[in-house]
Chain A
Amino acid sequence: MDPVSIKHILDTAEEYVEQNRRAQKSTSKCAGLTQINLFFENSTRTLMSFEIAGKRLGMDTISMSTGSSSIKKGETLLDTAATLNAMHPDVLVMRHADSGAVKLLSEKMDCAVINAGDGRSEHPTQALLDALTIRRRKGALHGQTIVISGDVAHSRVARSNIYLLNAMGARVRLVAPPTLLPKDVDRLGVEVSTRMDEGLKGADVVMMLRLQQERMQGAFLPSLREYYRFWGLTREKLAYAKEDVLVMHPGPMNRGVEIASDVADDIDRSAIEEQVEMGVAVRMACLDILTRKLQGAGQ
């Protein structure tokens, strides 16, 4: 995505932040349109966020998770796409465990498709909501030193953030144990470090990534205890960053693993709850922009 489009989405989202803080949050802007949320991977916050976003725009939203899907009955992804397409949705929001699955499905759909996370590839609305959070707190994205720390290797959040933040002129630095850094990741235009002290130096923003339980049980890291000791974001380690550093986390957090409780709950620095709020606004902006040609068509 180019900087102009990104800015447009963020500006639109700003308006929805205001709307969402009012008692009367819904509009009928997208009345009559159908939004399908198709989640092949479990999710609470992203699915809820998209569903709320759609409803506040007045859309008819239908959510479907793996459990109730005919994928379980052996249907291929493309057949599912054809089936859904025949029902004439106006927006399809999709999450899938395989990288590239959303792209494949979108080729068979006539409507707009929003990627809500595919494998280790991308999670664009997360990157947008992170960008909005930073922009609101720091005033701009350009020139900020932004550290992304944790399980970079398996993270779609990290990849989407790298692309977006680079496009907006931020300086991105990855900090992770050597086993959780993908090969040649420096080629994506980021600085790379394995050390928290060195990596956090001069950081304006620290984005922690969630560490999956199964990765800590000896496969990539010896233990939860050792990860926290060397890479967990504690007050001591955070002291290497700038005084007014902003702490972010896409959630759900593992307290005492990748982030210490007192850091996560520090109201001056932590933007973790704000990220969730921005999530709804950003998703409303995306739904709004993508359906603009269809809005009010029947009236």
Chain B
Amino acid sequence: MSTLYVNARLIDPATGMDEKGCLLTEGGVITAIGASLDAPEGAELVDCKGRVLAPGFIDMRAHRVDSASAAAGGITTVILQPDQTTVIDTDAVVERIRRRSDDTDTVRVYPMGAATRGMEGRQLAEIGQMQESGAVGFTDCRHAVSDSRVMRRLMEYATYFDALIVQFAEDRSLADGGEANEGEVATRLGLAGIPAAAEAIQIERDVRLAELTGARLHFALISSREGVEAIRAAKKRGVKISCSTAPHYLHLNDNALEGYRTFARLSPPLRTEEDRLALIAAVADGTIDTLVSDHDPRSEDVKRLPFGQAAPGIVGFETLLGLALAPMHAGKMDLMTVLKALTATPAKLLGLETGRLAAGAPADLVVFDPGKPWRIDREQFLSSARNTPFDTLPVQGKVWRTVVGGKTLHIGE
């Protein structure tokens, strides 16, 4: 079965292409790209009406698969974190997840394996066998690997497999028991603080270990100016590191906690306005490499609790594009930068063949209107829970179609 997408603005961040044209898919792959293409017999014709056609988004950090919700957000590949009911720390679990993903019409799912057994930070997990079964990275998810010696061995060991190690950039001993960013807001609300230094300290230690071992290291969810500066300095020295943040950190500061709004309870916590601005600048200049949703559906049962007892987390799939484009609409970065952080860069870090528009590449596509205004409405979410602080927020940029392996999984208005 073939489909011809016409009248599209083709953007491929892998090559920097941004031009009007057509794209043809046959079966599960892209077969041709050009200014004008003839439709083969029997091909479905999709008129994009000038909308952007880009590689489908690769979300490097999600805690649930929620396929319909991901597709509605333009996400074609979900990188599932290992913090599942059964921790993903053996090749058997990885294999089961990969097989289920391949056998069903859902978005693609690749798991990250635990970096240490049971994500306990003590013993190395079976990285080699998990990678052979399809794991694309290794992380202890919501916790940093604290013990320097364990982290060193982990990174040394990972070099053999050229495996990507993802570290949660937060020093545990400084963050333990913390509820919010350490600062004025936390003080006023009487919440236990987590200093931004906790992030910078973790980054700086692990950068040294990356230099010692030569491993590929990625820091998840940078949230502070200090964190950005530590990353920037390390990259300048030529260390092989990369990092991500989530759009909600570009959007909110810790004022969102006023009234003890547990939907704004996140890990790492929302920080100050100065931090928020530093993060936007860091995405714009490439210091922050990728944007992730950190999609984490949480039921009311664990959210409607006193702030300190409420679970951190936010749903992120369906708001990913709208929120990620906001700094672009504010003139702080261009569209190519945003899309690159959602497609080509994660594909490269994870070793995936998606994330690009090229003949022969898998037909994982998103078609969206970057300027279309809409209002976030949690009641409309397809996700398994609706914990978002962004309800009723007006944003611009909406997904029209999401295609995975040539199959259309989502059609919007």
Alpha-carbon distance A195/B161, docked complex (angstroms)? 10
Q: A178-B156, A179-B156, A194-B160 are in contact. Are A229 and B124 (CB under 8 A)?
A: no
Residue of A nearest to B152 (CB): A179
Which of A195, A217, A222, A229 is within 8 Å of B157, CB to CB?
A222
1/0 contact string of B111-130 vs chain A (CB within 8 Å):
00000110000111111110
Alpha-carbon distance A218/B128, docked complex (angstroms)? 13
| Contact of B160 with A221 in the complex, beta carbons under 8 Å | no
Alpha-carbon distance A195/B160, docked complex (angstroms)? 8
| Contact of B153 with A179 in the complex, beta carbons under 8 Å | yes
Alpha-carbon distance A225/B90, docked complex (angstroms)? 11
Q: Tell me how far the C-beta of B379 lies from the nearest C-beta in chain A, rounded to whole angstroms.
A: 46
Counting CB contacts under 8 A, is A219 at the interface?
yes
Which of B122, B123, B160, B213 is within 8 Å of A230, CB to CB?
B160
Alpha-carbon distance A104/B326, docked complex (angstroms)? 71
Alpha-carbon distance A62/B156, docked complex (angstroms)? 45
Chain A at the B interface: SS class: loop
Q: A179-B153, A229-B128, A230-B128 are in contact. Are A222 and B160 (CB under 8 A)?
A: no
Q: For B122, list chain A residues within 8 Å (CB).
A: 218
Q: Tell me how far the C-beta of A281 lies from the nearest C-beta in chain B, rounded to whole angstroms.
A: 39
Which of B124, B156, B213 is within 8 Å of A222, CB to CB?
B124
1/0 contact string of A68-93 vs chain B (CB within 8 Å):
00000000000000000000000000
| Contact of A220 with B126 in the complex, beta carbons under 8 Å | no
| Contact of A226 with B123 in the complex, beta carbons under 8 Å | no
Q: Tell me how far the C-beta of B161 lies from the nearest C-beta in chain A, rounded to whole angstroms.
A: 9
Alpha-carbon distance A195/B129, docked complex (angstroms)? 15
| Contact of A217 with B123 in the complex, beta carbons under 8 Å | yes
Residue of B nearest to A230 (CB): B128
| Contact of A178 with B126 in the complex, beta carbons under 8 Å | no
| Contact of B159 with A222 in the complex, beta carbons under 8 Å | no
Q: A225-B129, A226-B128, A226-B129 are in contact. Are A178 and B123 (CB under 8 A)?
A: no
Alpha-carbon distance A222/B117, docked complex (angstroms)? 8
Q: For A177, list chain B residues within 8 Å (CB).
A: 157, 160
Q: Tell me how far the C-beta of B125 lies from the nearest C-beta in chain A, rounded to whole angstroms.
A: 6
Alpha-carbon distance A222/B125, docked complex (angstroms)? 5
Counting CB contacts under 8 A, is A121 at the interface?
no
Counting CB contacts under 8 A, is A223 at the interface?
yes
Q: Tell me how far the C-beta of B90 lies from the nearest C-beta in chain A, rounded to whole angstroms.
A: 10
Q: For A220, list chain B residues within 8 Å (CB).
A: 124, 153, 157
For window 26-70 of chain B, which residues contact chain A by CB distance below 8 Å?
Answer: none
Q: Tell me how far the C-beta of A261 lies from the nearest C-beta in chain B, rounded to whole angstroms.
A: 21
| Contact of B126 with A226 in the complex, beta carbons under 8 Å | yes
Residues on B facing A (Cβ under 8 Å): 116-117, 122-129, 150, 153, 156-157, 159-160, 213
Kindly list 8 other residue pairs between chains A and B, CB separation below 8 angstroms, not including A218-B116, A220-B124, A230-B128: A177-B157, A195-B160, A220-B153, A220-B157, A221-B124, A222-B127, A223-B126, A230-B160
A-B contact pairs, 9 of them (CB 8 A): A177-B160, A178-B159, A179-B156, A219-B153, A222-B124, A225-B126, A226-B127, A230-B128, A230-B160
The 8 closest A-B pairs by CB, nearest first: A218-B123, A222-B124, A222-B126, A178-B156, A226-B126, A179-B156, A179-B157, A178-B159
